[in-house]
A and B are shown apart, each in its own frame.
Chain A
Amino acid sequence: MTRVSGPMNRRAAGTLGGYGEHGVWQRRAAGLRRLDWMLVLTVLALSVGGAFLVRSATFQILTDQGQDPEGLLKRHVLNLLIGFGLGGLVTVLDYRLLRAYVPILYGLACAGLLAVLTPLGSTINGSHSWIVIGGGFQVQPSEFAKVGLVVLLAMLLGEPRDGEVGPGRRDVLLALALAGLPAALIMLQPDLGTTLVFTAVVLGMLAVSGARKRWLAGLVGGGLLTAFAVWFFGLLKQYQIDRFTAFMDPSADPRGAGYNAQQARIAIGSGNLFGKGLFQGEQTGGHFVPEQQTDFIFTVAGEELGFVGAAVIIVLLGLVMWRGLRIASQAADLFGTLVATGVVCWLAFQTFENIGMTVGIMPITGLPLPFVSYGGSATFANMIAFGLLQAVHVRRRTFD
């Protein structure tokens, strides 16, 4: 690798290596200029748009309940601000130092997931994935586990290798074993959606790390086999089976599991090309779609902003993926590439699953729409992921 010299590059080199003649914070501030500003603006646009949608989804029901109509919106904005703070913090951190903290992060994630299974955990919407802290705050450890997984896999599969194109057998097996533990814990909650995200992240990161095709094929085959076994041995909860059958035919039981799917489709479909106008959605106003500010936020966009607005959201999310993959390909090292890849796989799968379930092409699982849905843990986790992308980008290779 050769480096082109120049003032910009020298500064970059300084950031990459040790800390030169200037002060640490000055250098880090200078690094701001190397941020992916397009990504920043995209995420900002999604967050602001999401906040409007959250207000639309909640003000009517809060008014009906005699509460502050903007109550949830205010909390969401606060969550976003904290999230951006977290993202910024992750950005300025040297991501390569993360490697040192991976065991701690991993341990924390597993501990959190374990705690959920103890009496500390609580059940919200049929999913036992929350720890209620008190004062109206609750934490969903599985969201942070996604971050942990990405960093863990990046460390295991991104080890500098000599001569080998991809990770060795030991690396892959270790990665699978270590990823399997939190995945199993999440499956026990049960949280099918997050488990699927894990699968997507593992597959994507293994692929990009250069693992042999037979590993990938084996993983896909094993996944299918597991799915079959789960179905065959009746390991799924009744509500999950209901959701799957409801996915196949939402009108079968409109007041039961199929109700969500059907109402979501009605809300989106009735939006037509230009929508009914922000805050004007009749299905949204009558809160026909359950969980509308979180998992079904996209239905608000579909109904009130129509195809045009919904497409803009998809384009913005697409921009996030594109910038993420661009960051992956420009990363200074394989570790950075894998971190960015992991984040993109996570966000891409979650986006597809979330929007897919609202338009009836995916079964219903409890996954929020990245950067748009109302949420605490999810927002924080998404922003940390966003910070990771920026961190990799700031320390990118400077040629291409």
Chain B
Amino acid sequence: MNSRTHFRLVVLYVLVAALLLVLAGRLWTMQVLDGRHYRQVAADNRTRDIVVPAVRGVILDDQGRLLVRNRTALVVSVDRTTLSRQKDGGKAVLGRLALVLGTGYDDLSKKIRLCGPGIQRPCWPGSPYQPIPVDDRVSAKRALQIMERQEDFPGVTAAVQAVREYPRPEGASAAQALGYLQPITQAELDQRKGLKVTGYSGVDLIGRDGLEATYDAELRGEPGLRKVVVDSQGRVTGTARDRPPTPGGNLVTSIDAGVQGAAEKALESAIKDARTRGRKADAGSAVVMDVQTGRLVAMASYPSYDPSIWTGGISQDEYDALLGKKKGEPLISRVTQGQFAPGSTFKVSSVAAAVGDGYDLHGTYPCPGSFNVGSRAFKNFEGQAHGQMDLHRALVVSCDTIFYKFAYEQWLRDGGTKPKKKPSDPMVAMARQWGFGSRSGIDLPGETTGRIPDRGWKRSYWNATRKAACKGAKDGHPDIARTDPARAAYLKAIDSENCAEGYLWRAGDAANLSVGQGDVLVTPLQLTRAYAAVANGGRLVVPRVGTAIARPDGSVARRIEPPEAKRLPVDPKVLAYIRGGLAGVPKSGTAAGAFRGFDFGKVAVAGKTGTAEVYGKDDTSWFASFAPAGKPRYAVVAMISQGGTGGESAAPAVREIYEAMYGLKGKKPMLKDGRLPAAPPGQPAVAGPPGQPAVAGPPGQPGVAGAAP
């Protein structure tokens, strides 16, 4: 062997050794230095997390009747990600799916596009990584067609899911109180910790309104997580970890389906009656509250809608047609979100304010047809004069001029147009103490505050509107002047007054406030609460709809206790006096017509009508009441927007509700001994999806469901 060959063999030795050392070094790096990382990656590689949705809890009334339950449905869902990986972007798949489901390709493709600016419903408001339900009323046969030909339907799943259903026991809908569910958005999904959503065919819904929103966390339950071992084809070869879902708790409410149904029916018939009398009657509400506890027994809002339209998505057309302005925006709960001038029902606060300010509770005061507040004459309703009277009678006949006098005199004491440094404004202060102008704190979302106008509000309102007022003052209203010169001149005068001194708390403002007019706005719930306070001796309760969260096995997970009630700064004697006055209203006062022939012997109703003038619209009709007058249990308040006087529209609705509750006029009573019956033991089981244990109803423990004494 020559030396060159020998040398080159040696080079080869070294080369081969070097190559093998490189391999060994690389192995050391991967297996020992980076071993932990690769272990983790391997584990992720091998396992998939499957989220097993929890069955959402049901919502029950005080006697265990189901207001919301779950229906099992075969839901066909489409996974956008899988679809987009198809060669044609999933067009062929959607086409085939449309054929099977009996819809059009366009409908389907619209349903699965993502909502965004400029995109009208139908569109998907939820997370783009979530399978999108396109049909929740699929027959088993069609579902099978899809599942058996998965190669034709990549990304399409058909699975059994629980879908919300509204059985309407006793005709009770309570749609606005119950609320509705909507797909969870990506942002909300991101907030939920540790839920990797893979292979999840479910629709993750979240409560968007009403009780569904307030108690979402408890109703939702805890989704289960199944960690499955998969092979390279994604086939499941075993289960590594299985955490079963915890079904959501059932929400027991104080709503009584019977009373709720009666309230809805009474409200609707009162509105229809008002329309036959030529009133516009565009909206209304009726509330029944337990005056001792603040628990709501019924809360009806008109117009209403069928909440089951939410399941399976809703198109823009449907949305507009069912939930839009034309239909009176039925999603808005008039109970908690409607704001209306309360009219004379507000006088309970004004009486308390006047007495608190030193006026004699038992004194007599003149009730002329009209009272001059500064330069303007403020009139009684229809200008009627009643002569001298006490406050009791002032409430019964609803005299306004007495309250104008109180308000004007108080305003003068505060310095009039040149106010003192710290004006006392007793009517404003009292109204706030009664809970007006601020949220009641009910367990429903989106509650509005109403408005108690005061000096501060006047100034900020003036700042916001001064420009327009000054323009009107300068130019007048030429368009109106053409047809109605007198009115244009009036408007111009108001504008110039507002432009110059609109920030001032004027005598007229004080006078209007005293009778619940002008800029005062209250929600029906606030008024109900105020009347409950009158009825229960001065405790301003915090309203509650939910009474308890029950576990699926029926035991109580949590009692929902209302917060401590605040006390009104009113002498109980004054409240008793007011109660006496209100008791006369249905018998001989402004509501006597509505309560003609009512069996006061069985249940003594005390109440107050309200007729609030609204500029450019029909009057708002109110009737706020409680019963029995001697030992009050329930406050019932009805409001009909553009319904005319309180006596003609709202009072009959309230009467109908009482008749239903106490079983008058041949109706079966819903109340036993003036009380709602306690929930019977043993609730109907609620069927969950197959494989899930049946969800038991709430407990039958007395005091949990049903009205407290």
Contact = CB atoms under 8 A, between A and B. Distances in A.
A264 to B, nearest CB: 10
Interface in A314-369: 314, 317-318, 321-322, 325, 328-329, 331, 334, 337, 341, 344-345, 348, 351-352, 355-356, 359-361
Nearest to B19: A352
B30 A314 contact: no
A209 B1 CA distance: 10
Nearest to A356: B23
B34 A269 contact: yes
Contacts of A321: 16, 20
B30 A210 contact: no
Nearest to A270: B42
Interface stretch (A10-18, A125-133, A282-290): A282-290
Contacts, number: 139
A288 B4 CA distance: 48
A17 B24 CA distance: 44
A257 interface: no
B483 interface: no
Given A283-B46, A302-B27, A356-B23, A307 B32 contact: yes
A302 B24 CA distance: 11
Given A286-B231, A325-B9, A341-B12, A272 B26 contact: no
Contact of B16 (A263, A267, A307, A325): A325
Contacts of B27: 268, 302, 307, 310-311, 314, 359
Nearest to A329: B9
A347 to B, nearest CB: 9
B28 interface: yes
A241 interface: no
A173 B22 CA distance: 34
Interface residues of B, number: 38
Contacts of B372: none
Contact of B12 (A207, A290, A306, A352): A207
A165 interface: yes
B98 to A, nearest CB: 29
Contact of B13 (A272, A282, A325, A351): A325
Contacts of B13: 322, 325
A325 B34 CA distance: 34
Given A269-B34, A348-B19, A208 B8 contact: yes
A317 B37 CA distance: 28
Given A302-B31, A310-B31, A286 B9 contact: no
A287 B12 contact: no
A266 B16 contact: no
Contacts of A265: 30, 38
A207 B232 CA distance: 45
A270 B229 contact: no
A166 B8 CA distance: 12
A311 B24 contact: yes
Nearest to A208: B8
A273 interface: yes
A304 to B, nearest CB: 12
Nearest to B233: A287
A366 B292 CA distance: 84
Interface in B1-17: 1-2, 4-6, 8-9, 11-13, 15-17
A287 B20 contact: no
A31 interface: no
A331 B237 CA distance: 55
Given A288-B46, A359-B23, A361-B26, A272 B31 contact: yes
Given A307-B28, A325-B13, 18 more contacts: A165-B4, A210-B5, A266-B38, A270-B39, A272-B32, A283-B45, A287-B231, A289-B232, A302-B30, A314-B24, A314-B27, A318-B17, A325-B9, A348-B15, A348-B19, A352-B22, A356-B26, A360-B26
21 contacts: A207-B12, A265-B30, A266-B42, A269-B31, A269-B35, A270-B35, A270-B41, A283-B42, A283-B45, A286-B230, A288-B45, A288-B46, A302-B31, A310-B27, A311-B24, A314-B20, A318-B20, A322-B16, A351-B20, A352-B19, A356-B26
List the 10 closest A-B pairs by CB distance, nearest first: A269-B38, A270-B42, A272-B35, A286-B231, A307-B31, A288-B232, A270-B38, A269-B30, A352-B19, A210-B4
